[in-house]
Amino acid sequence: MLLLIPHLFPTARLLEAAAQDLHLPALQTLLARGTRTPCPAEGVEAALCTALGIARQQDWPLAPITLEADGGVAGSAYWLRADPVHLRVMRDRIVLADSSTLNLSRQEADALAATIGQHFGDALRPLPLHPNRWYVQHPTPPRLITTPVSVATGRDIDPLLPQGIDAMPVRSQLNELQMLLHEHPLNQAREARGELPVNSLWLWGGGIKPAVPATRIPVFAREDEARALAAFCGSALHPLPARLDKSLLETAGVILLDELTSAGLCGDAYGWREAVRVLEANWFVPLLGALRTVGAPSLRLVDPVNGQALQLHASDAWKIWRRPRPLISMLA
C-alpha cells in the first residue's frame, strides 16, 4: 500500500512555525519505528504515474490524460497543460499562486483564452476545457522539461521555468503574455473586486497520449488529476475513506491524502497544524494500531513534494526500543 501525503515533511520554515509544542503520539511512534528514506520530489502527479505504470516522456504526460478526462480528444498530438495562474512579485523573487486560488468563472476563462489566441495565433492558442485546466497543442513535441504546478505553487518560479533546447522562445512568449494580460479589462475588473488577476499561464505536464498500462491497482482519491489518471489506466477508483480501515492495508493500492496540501502550498502554519491533527486521529492512530498486520510489500508514506518517505513493515510494531522524539526534530 502506498499513502501519498503531500507536505507531510514540510519546509523548514513551515515546520518551525507549525510544529512547536505539537504532540502527535501515533505519528511520532511511526516515525521512530519506520525507516526514513529520500524519494523523488517531482510532485503528486509524478508519484501517481510511477505507481500506476505510466512512463515518463520528457515530462510526466498529464496533459493528454486530463484533456480527455475534461472531454477533449488527445489523438496523437503533443499537448501541454497551460493553467491560468497569478504571479506575485515579492522583494527578491516571483511566487506562483495556482488556479485554485483564482475562482475563475467559465466566462472569464473563455474570454482570456480568446484574447491570448487572437494575439498569438497558432503559436499559443489555449483550450480552456475547464476554468482551471487549459491546454495547448503542438504539432511536434517541443524539447521542454517543465515543473508540475503542484510543485511550483508557493515557490520562487525562476528555477522552475521550462528548461531545454526550446525553452528560451517559450520564456519570451510567456513574458509577452504577461504584458498582454496586465492590461486586460477583465483582470482590471477582478482587481477592482479584490480578486487576483490572471497574469500568466503555467506550462507543464507535456506529452503524447501514452499507452494504457497493463497493471491496474486501485486508487483512493478525491483530487481531479488523480482521478483522471486512475480512469485512464482502467484502475478501480474509490472515494477517499474518512478513516483508515485495517482492510485497506491488505490492498496493493494508492491512497492520496491531500489534507495538508492547501496549508503546505501557502505556508499556513495554523492550517497545517490543524490538518495534521485530523490525519493523526483518522489515519495515524489506526495505522499504528494495525501496523503488525501490514503484509508484503511494505507500507510507504510518501511526501512527493518535499522528497521524503517513511517505510513501515509489520516487524516495526515490535520495535518498542525506538523511542519517539519531539515532532519538529522527527519531521526535519
CA atoms within 13 A on the CB side of 297: 8
CA neighbor of 229 nearest in space, from 213, 242, 251: 213
Average pLDDT over residues 37-49: 96
Mean pLDDT of the chain: 94
Would you kindly state where each structural domain of the chain is located, as residue ranges?
2-55+212-331, 62-208
Confidence of residue 101 (pLDDT cuts 50, 70, 90): confident
pLDDT average, residue stretch 50-55 = 96
- Model's pTM, two decimal places? 0.93
Give backbone dihedrals phi and psi of 133, rounded to 5 degrees, phi first. Answer: -130, 110
Closest by Cα among 13, 47, 97 to 225:
47
Q: Taking the alpha carbons of 38, 42, 43, 48 in that order, is the dihedral positive or negative?
A: negative
Please tell me which residue, 296 or 233, carries the higher pLDDT value.
Answer: 233
SS3 labels along the chain: CEEECCCCCCCHHHHHHHCCCCCCHHHHHHHHHCEEEECCCCCHHHHHHHHHCCCCCCCCCHHHHHHHHCCCCCCCCEEEEEEEEEEEECCCCEEEECHHHCCCCHHHHHHHHHHHHHHHHHHCCCEEEECCEEEEEECCCCCCECCCHHHHECCECHHHCCECCCHHHHHHHHHHHHHHHHCCHHHHHHHHCCCCCCCEEEEEEEEECCCCCCCCCCEECCCHHHHHHHHHHCCCEECCCCCCCHHHHHCCCEEECCCCHHHHHHCCHHHHHHHHHHHHHHHHHHHHHCHHHCCCCCEEEEECCCCEEEEECHHHHHCCCCCCCCHHHHHC
Q: Which of 37, 39, 188 is nearest to 111 (CA)?
A: 188
* 8 A C-beta contact, residue 1 and residue 290: no
Identify the band that residue 296 occupies on the pLDDT scale cut at 50, 70 and 90. Answer: low
Mean pLDDT, rounded, for 4-19: 96
- All cell numbers assigned to 64: 493528454
Model pLDDT, residue 99 = 84
119 by Cβ neighbours in 10 Å (0-12 / 13-18 / 19+) ranks as: middle
Residue 328 binned pLDDT confidence (cut-offs 50, 70, 90): very high
Rounded CA separation 237/222 (Å): 10
**What pLDDT sits at residue 261?**
96
Other C-beta atoms closer than 10 Å to the C-beta of 236 total 13
Q: What is the mean pLDDT of residues 204-219?
A: 95
Q: What are the phi and psi torsion angles at 317 (to 5°)?
A: -60, -25
Neighbours of 90 (CB within 10 A): 8
Task: Give the residues across from 136 on adjacent strands.
Answer: 80
pLDDT at 297 over 80: no
pLDDT digits (tens, 9 = 90+) for 184-195: 999 999 999 999
User: Which residues on neighbouring strands pair with residue 79, listed in sequence order?
Assistant: 137, 207
Reported as a single tens digit per residue, the pLDDT across 280-289 is 999 999 999 9
Question: What digits encode the pLDDT tens for the residues 257-278?
Answer: 999 999 999 899 999 999 999 9
Q: What is the pLDDT of residue 233?
A: 96
Confidence band of 248 (pLDDT split at 50, 70, 90): confident
For residue 252, pLDDT beyond 90: no
